[in-house]
Chain A
Amino acid sequence: MHIYINDTKYEVSENDTIIQVADRNEIHIPRFCYHKRLSIVASCRMCLVDVEGAKYPQPACSTLVRDGMKVNTTNTSASQAQKNTMEFLLINHPLDCPICDQAGECELQDVSLEHGDYKSAYNEIKRTVIDKDIGDLVSTEMTRCIHCSRCVRFGEEVAGIKELGMTGRGEETKIETFINQGLSSQLSGNVIDLCPVGALNNSLYKYSARTWDLKQTSSISSNDCLGSNIFYHTYKDEIKRCIPKEDEEINLSWLSDNDRFGYEGIKSDDRILHPLIRRGDNLEKTDFNTISDYLIESLKLYSKKSCGIMSAQSSCEEMYLFQHLLRENNIGKIDHRSKECDFRYQKNFPTIPSFDIKLSEIKNLDNIIIIGTNVSKEFPILSIYFREAIKNNDTSIFSFATYEFEENFPLKKSHVLNSQELADCFNTSTTETNVDIDKTGNNLIILGPAISYLSNYSNILNNISRYAESNNMKLSLLGDQANTSGAWAMGIVPHRLPGGVAINKTDKSGNYELLSDTDDLLVIYNLEPEYDFSDDNKILEKLKKSKANIFFSSYMTESIKKYAHIVFPLSTQVESSGSYINTNKKLQQYEKIINPLGESKDGADILLTICNSFDSSLTHEGVKKSIRAILAKINVNNNFVQIANLDNVKNSNFLEKIVIRNPNSSNPTLRRCNSLLNTHDNDDYFSIPLDKTVSDNDKIILNENNNKLKLTIKQKKHAKPINTVLVKIGGTHKEKIGAYNTEVDL
């Protein structure tokens, strides 16, 4: 089948529209409402083209091809129609380009220049629209709106939440939120890119630069394990904004709000700008040599009685060097799992945990079981794939979690269970499992990071793995941080060297206590004791008791101020270069976007300099090569973690506490992005079973592990899970919250 566009013959297939054929062959057709990832409405009428035999020009975006069809995109009929539409679009447009952020990259400007007229016949009063406040992330200038409805369709079709809609009729048609409320979707920022004009703007970028002055550099997300591809736009060594870089394997044309707005924190007042050393009660400025010497001496001095805990947000290069530095000094207690407390599974864990299937294969699945993650909040990009699967394949999605939440896609069934029930319902050795799906289908189980915080994580992993295997399902393990897969592969675990090579020395049971108080030296890398550990009481106690505490950190916190002996000022991810391994085991490189603030330094540079003091042959190039070599050797077939002779650690009659972390503050930089947190991280609460009472409505006292904790937050009650107190906390809670998962008394 073929058609002619402007007298040239093109191969087409039956369901092509004219605009698809034109786009494939780089024939320019102006458009506003059309977007390749949204449904077709053909309402802007910018894409009108001449079709032989049709009385009037036809919209190229919605007109299907016919064999032998003759299309002209530039003849008088087509160009006059385009000019007419352009004239209509501009009569009510404010033409305030000089003060509009979109100027320079505005589709209306571009199309106007090519297809419009330089003068207007319109002499009446122009329409103005009063703006509504729709939150801290997206600012509006609705008088500029051209009603293309891309933002509306994005909400309905991609983000799965109808927040922006059309109200009014005719000339008074407006795009606004139906109720007076800010946008709440974790994908809300995408409407900024979609809006062809300056109606929906990036609040962080607003009035801070002109588009043509910006420099574009590509990067990788540091906020979740999907590894979305990003462009940063900078001006004079400052990040002005962040937009998606198209990637058909990961983020398509979209970005989560965390990724888009997640750099605001780097300018926080908490930034550590100099090397610091303790003098009495204070940390004082010093130089890198002094603290490097201190570190080397401490490593030698405390050697086996040391512990290194590193964030899995660190790059593979930092990880490789970190474990190298510690292991060369005979320190084996190295870990990245600061939020976990049950490690009995570790020997059986895959060398490199992953999603196992390509994201693009999600749309062919029949059933998906999601365990322990609120996908639309924690992995918004993933939720887009789920929505696609439901649309494409009528996929059934089941959710199992420890608390109730909403998703932006329909769930076939959702179960709210406590940790013991979670383990039990996948127990294949009991007569019936609670989960009934068609086993012959193409099915997947996804395990979210929050499950790893539970004190019976190993039991759950074990049961789910056996369930998955016996039902012929694949198992995906979603990482807690951007480089969790990298941390496993680079040996940031006590029992394995890079590449997953087992160390025999670790004790048989595979279990050990990360936060025991037996270490004399603590090296804490890019983790904040208050917010990043499975038990804040324990880590603070540990810091108090140890003889030396060495921090690598970008930000100052109360505990660092109080307990650190030295602090290396780390540059943030956007000020560093490195690589991450995403959940599809893809190694992705990122470059430095801006120069580090103050004297802060790329962690890989700091670590390499220190390593060079005893191993001068090590270079950045060499490290990169080693990383590639290690990855090339790793071969993992599945993610099943089956453990023999595992004890049940729980007794379901006790009241347990489960802490729910807010995904918008999962790393030190995100925690300091105020606009993001104001929009998305604002529902802290504790929730108790219906049959329990506490005296105060916004206060709860918890007795756990000989500690008494007092939390002053909103109270809720729940029917499920039974025997469970839930504590949902945002990024920068002031009070101690204790263990993420433990027995408690009220």
Chain B
Amino acid sequence: MIKVCTQTFGHKNPSSIDTYIKLGGYSAWKKIITEKTSKSEIINTVKESQLKGKGGAGFLTGLKWSFISPNDSQKYLVCNSDESEPGTCKDRDILRYNPHSVIEGMLIACYAIGASVGYNYLRGEFIGDQWNVTNNAIKEAYDQKLIGTNILESNISIDIIPLIGAGAYIVGEETAMLESIEGKRGMPRIKPPFPAVQGLYGKPTIINNTETLSSIPYIIKNGTDWYKNLGEGDSHGVKMFCMSGHLTKPNVIEAPLGTRFSKLLDECGGVLDNKKLKAVIPGGSSVPVVKGEVIMDTPMDYEPLMKIGTMLGSGGVIVMDESTCMVSVLERISRFYYAESCGQCTPCREGTGWLYKTLVKIRSGHGSQSDLDLLNRVANQIEGHCICALGDAAAMPVKSFLTNFWNEFEYFVEKKQSMII
């Protein structure tokens, strides 16, 4: 078992600064501020490590950092801990058990991009647990002068400020998050301008996912080769996979990128009750579903999953066995995007409702063949026609469910009942 973001998991008092420091924590940060490592060196290290954003899009983190405007205006870093994509539950564990890695990652990122403030924006539902842990951890780090003004007498000042949302999925979209931090209604902005040019309060801003930032200290400490070599086969680095659904032992597993799906399945004790694997959504509810037999031997990485018509996304792997009614699953997924659309773009606002209502109709036995074509058409009309990717996220499941399980939907509209009894 490799351990990067999960390094402290299983230790006693995993979230305490002592545990973290005992395991080598904050050594990367201390080294940077004492040696005054150049910003470009850090950005290059991250670039060469091939670290890809873990929030869903898989964009190269070092490359993103290099886009930050070089001018000397105020800059910001935002850590995206809004983790709300159904099936995704990794950031919550990092925040709960290894919060200092996120803080150290944020400090290094702030330093590298020249930001004096980093915000960590937690989803509203984290109020009970992760919110307290995060606040405690930040306090511990302040107490040890690892954050704040004149950090360890280095003349470097960086503040880390935790924020908490109010329960809207859309705030996970980076520009909606910026609006929310500014105190406005959480609605995505149009891009360009990209946040690296005009972000929070109009200033250059980098937004990274919790897991992405949590990986940073380990990469700086152990070097790019170490991180790259963690991958399996052609892949580089690691990823946390949130294994949920019909599994004997659902779990969050940090595994090398490129690990075959079958191996992850084994680690979870196989399909629950030894049933047959029917389908998998490998990257959170918004990515296309694939049939079980298609994914079984696929290496879990961005390109291989793309080849079989789906995506790695956030790493939320939803496993479904043969007893699953795909019509019901799609209806449930559609309801989510219908309820969570921010409502500004016409296709997303109106289309997600249309999709959901049509699926409700089908599932209650009032659908017809033409409704299936309608679903496909409406999904196509949404996809690629909106401001943010939520529109696509609503469309992709519909299209993939229909493509992969057409006969099941057809059966439902003909017989007015599910094929699965």
The reply to whether B374 and A85 form a contact with Cβ atoms under 8 Å apart is no
Task: Tell me if A252 counts as interface (CB < 8 A to partner B).
Answer: no
Task: Tell me if A234 counts as interface (CB < 8 A to partner B).
Answer: no
A392: min CB distance to chain B, Å? 15
Task: Tell me if B119 counts as interface (CB < 8 A to partner A).
Answer: no
A632: min CB distance to chain B, Å? 49
Which of B192, B343, B354, B361 has most chain A Cβ within 10 Å?
Answer: B343
Task: Tell me if B283 counts as interface (CB < 8 A to partner A).
Answer: no
The reply to whether B185 and A85 form a contact with Cβ atoms under 8 Å apart is no
The reply to whether B350 and A88 form a contact with Cβ atoms under 8 Å apart is yes
As a 0/1 sequence over residues 355 to 372 of chain B, the CB contacts with chain A under 8 angstroms (1 = contact) are 001100100000000000
The reply to whether A170 and B384 form a contact with Cβ atoms under 8 Å apart is no
Q: A124-B358, A166-B185, A166-B343 are in contact. Are A171 and B338 (CB under 8 A)?
A: yes
The reply to whether B353 and A170 form a contact with Cβ atoms under 8 Å apart is yes
Which one of A38-46, A224-232, A363-371, A708-716 is at the B interface? A38-46
Task: Choose among B342, B345, B347, B374 the residue that contacts A169 (Cβ–Cβ < 8 A).
Answer: B342
- Complex CA–CA separation, A730 to B361 (angstroms): 58
Q: A56-B385, A169-B170 are in contact. Are A43 and B346 (CB under 8 A)?
A: yes
Q: A43-B346, A44-B346, A88-B346 are in contact. Are A81 and B340 (CB under 8 A)?
A: no
Q: A48-B385, A55-B384, A62-B190 are in contact. Are A170 and B342 (CB under 8 A)?
A: yes
- Complex CA–CA separation, A170 to B190 (angstroms): 18
As a 0/1 sequence over residues 27 to 70 of chain A, the CB contacts with chain B under 8 angstroms (1 = contact) are 00000000000001111111010000001110100101000000
The reply to whether B352 and A43 form a contact with Cβ atoms under 8 Å apart is no
- Complex CA–CA separation, A30 to B300 (angstroms): 45
The reply to whether B168 and A169 form a contact with Cβ atoms under 8 Å apart is yes
- Complex CA–CA separation, A168 to B342 (angstroms): 8
7 contacts between A and B (CB under 8 A): A43-B344, A44-B346, A57-B385, A85-B347, A147-B346, A171-B341, A171-B343
A409: min CB distance to chain B, Å? 19
Q: Which residues of B contact A55 (CB under 8 A)?
A: 384
The reply to whether A122 and B354 form a contact with Cβ atoms under 8 Å apart is yes
Task: Tell me if A84 counts as interface (CB < 8 A to partner B).
Answer: yes
A491: min CB distance to chain B, Å? 54
Task: Tell me if B239 counts as interface (CB < 8 A to partner A).
Answer: no
- Complex CA–CA separation, A170 to B348 (angstroms): 8
Task: Tell me if B265 counts as interface (CB < 8 A to partner A).
Answer: no
The reply to whether B343 and A169 form a contact with Cβ atoms under 8 Å apart is yes
As a 0/1 sequence over residues 148 to 177 of chain A, the CB contacts with chain B under 8 angstroms (1 = contact) are 010000000000000001101111110000
The reply to whether A171 and B385 form a contact with Cβ atoms under 8 Å apart is no
Q: Which residue from chain A places its CB closest to the CB of B338 in the assembled complex?
A: A170
A739: min CB distance to chain B, Å? 47
Q: Which residue from chain A places its CB closest to the CB of B386 in the assembled complex?
A: A45
Task: Tell me if A655 counts as interface (CB < 8 A to partner B).
Answer: no
Q: Which residue from chain A places its CB closest to the CB of B185 in the assembled complex?
A: A166
Q: Which residues of A contact B344 (CB under 8 A)?
A: 41, 43, 147, 149, 166, 173
Q: Which residue from chain A places its CB closest to the CB of B381 in the assembled complex?
A: A84
Task: Tell me if A109 counts as interface (CB < 8 A to partner B).
Answer: no
Q: Which residues of B contact A88 (CB under 8 A)?
A: 346-347, 349-351, 354, 381
Q: A85-B346, A170-B349 are in contact. Are A124 and B387 (CB under 8 A)?
A: no
Task: Choose among A41, A48, A81, A173 the residue that contacts B349 (Cβ–Cβ < 8 A).
Answer: A173
- Complex CA–CA separation, A92 to B353 (angstroms): 10
Which of A46, A57, A171 has most chain B Cβ within 10 Å?
Answer: A171
The reply to whether B343 and A45 form a contact with Cβ atoms under 8 Å apart is no
Task: Tell me if B339 counts as interface (CB < 8 A to partner A).
Answer: yes
The reply to whether B341 and A169 form a contact with Cβ atoms under 8 Å apart is yes
Task: Tell me if A359 counts as interface (CB < 8 A to partner B).
Answer: no
Interface of A is mostly: loop
- Complex CA–CA separation, A56 to B395 (angstroms): 15
- Complex CA–CA separation, A240 to B234 (angstroms): 74
Q: Which residues of A contact B352 (CB under 8 A)?
A: 170-171
Q: Which residues of A contact B351 (CB under 8 A)?
A: 88
Q: Which residues of A contact B345 (CB under 8 A)?
A: 43-45
Report B's interface with A, CB cutoff 8 A: 168, 170, 185, 187, 190, 192, 338-354, 357-358, 361, 374, 381, 384-387
Q: A40-B190, A43-B344, A147-B343 are in contact. Are A171 and B381 (CB under 8 A)?
A: no
Q: Which residue from chain B places its CB closest to the CB of A84 in the assembled complex?
A: B381
Q: A45-B386, A56-B385, A62-B190 are in contact. Are A171 and B349 (CB under 8 A)?
A: yes
- Complex CA–CA separation, A59 to B350 (angstroms): 18
Task: Tell me if A411 counts as interface (CB < 8 A to partner B).
Answer: no
Task: Tell me if A91 counts as interface (CB < 8 A to partner B).
Answer: yes
As a 0/1 sequence over residues 464 to 492 of chain A, the CB contacts with chain B under 8 angstroms (1 = contact) are 00000000000000000000000000000
The reply to whether A168 and B343 form a contact with Cβ atoms under 8 Å apart is yes
Q: Which residues of B contact A57 (CB under 8 A)?
A: 385
Which of A45, A121, A172 has most chain B Cβ within 10 Å?
Answer: A45
Q: A42-B387, A45-B385, A48-B385 are in contact. Are A170 and B354 (CB under 8 A)?
A: no
- Complex CA–CA separation, A57 to B349 (angstroms): 18
Q: Which residue from chain A places its CB closest to the CB of B344 in the assembled complex?
A: A43
Q: A45-B386, A124-B358 are in contact. Are A170 and B339 (CB under 8 A)?
A: yes
Task: Tell me if A89 counts as interface (CB < 8 A to partner B).
Answer: yes
The reply to whether A91 and B350 form a contact with Cβ atoms under 8 Å apart is yes
Task: Choose among A40, A46, A149, A171 the residue that contacts B353 (Cβ–Cβ < 8 A).
Answer: A171
Q: A124-B357, A169-B170 are in contact. Are A81 and B346 (CB under 8 A)?
A: no
Q: Which residue from chain A places its CB closest to the CB of B390 in the assembled complex?
A: A170
B208: min CB distance to chain A, Å? 26
The reply to whether A124 and B361 form a contact with Cβ atoms under 8 Å apart is yes
- Complex CA–CA separation, A64 to B193 (angstroms): 11
The reply to whether A170 and B343 form a contact with Cβ atoms under 8 Å apart is yes
Q: Which residues of B contact A40 (CB under 8 A)?
A: 190
Q: Which residue from chain A places its CB closest to the CB of B343 in the assembled complex?
A: A173
The reply to whether A170 and B341 form a contact with Cβ atoms under 8 Å apart is yes
The reply to whether A172 and B343 form a contact with Cβ atoms under 8 Å apart is yes
- Complex CA–CA separation, A291 to B226 (angstroms): 106
List CB contacts (< 8 Å) of A90-131 with chain B: 91-92, 121-122, 124-125, 127
Q: Which residues of B contact A125 (CB under 8 A)?
A: 357
Q: Which residue from chain A places its CB closest to the CB of B353 in the assembled complex?
A: A171
The reply to whether B350 and A46 form a contact with Cβ atoms under 8 Å apart is no
Q: A40-B190, A169-B170, A171-B338 are in contact. Are A46 and B346 (CB under 8 A)?
A: yes
Q: Which residues of A contact B338 (CB under 8 A)?
A: 170-171
- Complex CA–CA separation, A170 to B352 (angstroms): 8
- Complex CA–CA separation, A44 to B338 (angstroms): 17
Q: A124-B357, A124-B358 are in contact. Are A165 and B185 (CB under 8 A)?
A: yes
- Complex CA–CA separation, A91 to B185 (angstroms): 25
Q: Which residue from chain A places its CB closest to the CB of B357 in the assembled complex?
A: A124
Q: Which residues of A contact B339 (CB under 8 A)?
A: 169-170
Q: A81-B385, A169-B170 are in contact. Are A45 and B190 (CB under 8 A)?
A: no
